[in-house]
C-alpha cells in the first residue's frame, strides 16, 4: 500500500512536513510574505496591505467594477453561475503564493490561502442577501492530472473554506473525464465546448445535487471557461443554482 512501504514516495517528506506544520499551527512562524513572526503565517501588516485593499468587484464575474455593480458584459451575457466571489485579484504577491501552493509541493499554504478566501466570503456574504449554499464542490482535475500532482489544489481550498462556513463538501460528485484538450487556436466558444464535454456528474451523484444550491471552488479564475463548463454540467445534473468561489481573479482579458 502506498505510504507504508520502505521506499517513501517523493512527496512523503513534504507531506510529513505539512502534517508537522499543522501540528504547530498557532505557534509563531514567519509571515510567508515579509518574514516577520506571527501566528497565522500571514502577518497583520501584510493582510491589511494585500487583502484589505481590494477594489469593488462585479458580483457576477468578480472583475473590478465601480461601486460593485453588475458590469455591462455580465448584463449583456450573464454567466451560468449566479455569483462569483473572488478572494483577491491575481497579481503580486498572490501569484507567487499560488505557484508555490500549486506547483512546488507546498500544500501547507492551503490553510493560509483558504483563510484569505473564507474571510472575504464572510464579509461579502454578510453584506448581501446570499442564496444559502447546500454543498461545496471543487473544480475537479482529471484522474491522470490528479495522479501526477498528488492533490487537487481546488479541493484543498474547498474543504477548508466549507469547514469555515459549516458546510458539507464533496470532491467526488463532479468529474473531469479527461484533461482539457489543447486550447490554442480555438475560438472562445470552441474552448468552452471542449471543457463542457470534459465535465460530468455520474447518475449516482445526481440525486445529491438535485435541487441543491452549490458553491464551486477554484484557485484561479481567468477566462471563466472552466467555471462555465463546470456550472453547466452541475445545472444539467439537476442543481438548482451554482455560485463560484475563487481565491484569485485575473484581470479582464485584453
Ligand atoms: Zn507579513
Ligand atoms: Zn461582470
Task: Give the CATH number of the domain where residue 160 resides.
Answer: 3.40.50
Closest ligand to Cα 252: 2
Neighbours of 156 (CB within 10 A): 23
Strand bridging mode 174-176 / 199-201: antiparallel
Q: What total of structural domains would you count in the chain?
A: 2
Q: Are residues 176 and 218 in the same domain?
A: yes
Distance 142 CA to ligand 1 centre (A): 35
pLDDT at 252: 67
Q: Are residues 69 and 178 in the same domain?
A: yes
Strand partners, 142: 176
Which three cell numbers mark 31? 509571515
The answer to whether the beta carbons of residues 81 and 240 sit under 8 Å apart is no
Neighbours of 172 (CB within 10 A): 12
Distance 61 CA to ligand 1 centre (A): 29
Distance 32 CA to ligand 1 centre (A): 7
Judge whether 2 lies within some domain: no
Question: Residue 136 and residue 214: Cα distance in Å, rounded?
Answer: 6
Closest ligand to Cα 57: 2
Strand bridging mode 37-38 / 29-30: antiparallel
| Residue that terminates a domain, selected from 38, 53, 68 | 53
Comparing CA positions, the residue from 70, 104, 67, 57 lying closest to residue 248 is: 57
Judge whether 254 lies within some domain: no
User: DSSP string covering 19-38, please?
Assistant: HHHHHTBTB-EE-TTT--EE
Distance 68 CA to ligand 1 centre (A): 28
Q: According to DSSP H, which parts of the chain are helical?
A: 12-23, 44-50, 72-76, 94-103, 109-127, 143-149, 153-165, 188-198, 203-209, 225-236
Domain that holds residue 218: 56-249
Distance 146 CA to ligand 2 centre (A): 31
pLDDT at 109: 85
Tens of pLDDT, residue by residue, the chain (254 residues): 333 334 434 344 444 444 444 444 557 778 888 888 877 778 888 888 887 777 889 999 999 998 889 999 999 999 999 999 999 999 888 888 888 888 776 767 888 899 999 999 988 877 776 778 999 999 999 888 888 888 899 999 999 999 999 999 999 999 998 765 555 566 666 666 666 568 889 888 999 999 999 999 999 998 888 999 999 999 999 999 999 999 999 986 55
Closest ligand to Cα 41: 1
Residue-wise over 222-231: b if at least 16 C-beta within 10 A, else e?
eebbbbbbbb
Comparing CA positions, the residue from 26, 160, 51 lying closest to residue 116 is: 51
pTM metric for this prediction: 0.81
* Residues in contact with 197: Cβ distance below 8 Å, sequence separation at least 6, in sequence order: 177
Amino acid at each position: 500500500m502506498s505510504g507504508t512501504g520502505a521506499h517513501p514516495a517523493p512527496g512523503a517528506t513534504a507531506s510529513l512536513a505539512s502534517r508537522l506544520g499543522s501540528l504547530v499551527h498557532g505557534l509563531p512562524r514567519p509571515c510567508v510574505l515579509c518574514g516577520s513572526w506571527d501566528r497565522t503565517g500571514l502577518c497583520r501588516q501584510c493582510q491589511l496591505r494585500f487583502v484589505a485593499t481590494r477594489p469593488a468587484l462585479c458580483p457576477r464575474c468578480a472583475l473590478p467594477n465601480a461601486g460593485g455593480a453588475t458590469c455591462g458584459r455580465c448584463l449583456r451575457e450573464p454567466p451560468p453561475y449566479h455569483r462569483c466571489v473572488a478572494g483577491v485579484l491575481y497579481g503580486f504577491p498572490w501569484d507567487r503564493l499560488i505557484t508555490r501552493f500549486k506547483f512546488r509541493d507546498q500544500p501547507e499554504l492551503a490553510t493560509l490561502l483558504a483563510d484569505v478566501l473564507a474571510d472575504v466570503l464572510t464579509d461579502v456574504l454578510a453584506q448581501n442577501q446570499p442564496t444559502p449554499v447546500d454543498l461545496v464542490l471543487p473544480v475537479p482535475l482529471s484522474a491522470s492530472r490528479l495522479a501526477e500532482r498528488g492533490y487537487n489544489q481546488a479541493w484543498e481550498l474547498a474543504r477548508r473554506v466549507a469547514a469555515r462556513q459549516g458546510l458539507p463538501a464533496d470532491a467526488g460528485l463532479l468529474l473531469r473525464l479527461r484533461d482539457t484538450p489543447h486550447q490554442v487556436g480555438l475560438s472562445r466558444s470552441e474552448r468552452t465546448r471542449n471543457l463542457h464535454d470534459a465535465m460530468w456528474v455520474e447518475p449516482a451523484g445526481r440525486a445529491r445535487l438535485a435541487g441543491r444550491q452549490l458553491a464551486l471552488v477554484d484557485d484561479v479564475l481567468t477566462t471563466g471557461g472552466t467555471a462555465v463548463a463546470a456550472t453547466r454540467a452541475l445545472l444539467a445534473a439537476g442543481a438548482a443554482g451554482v455560485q463560484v468561489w475563487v481565491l484569485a481573479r485575473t484581470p479582464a482579458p485584453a
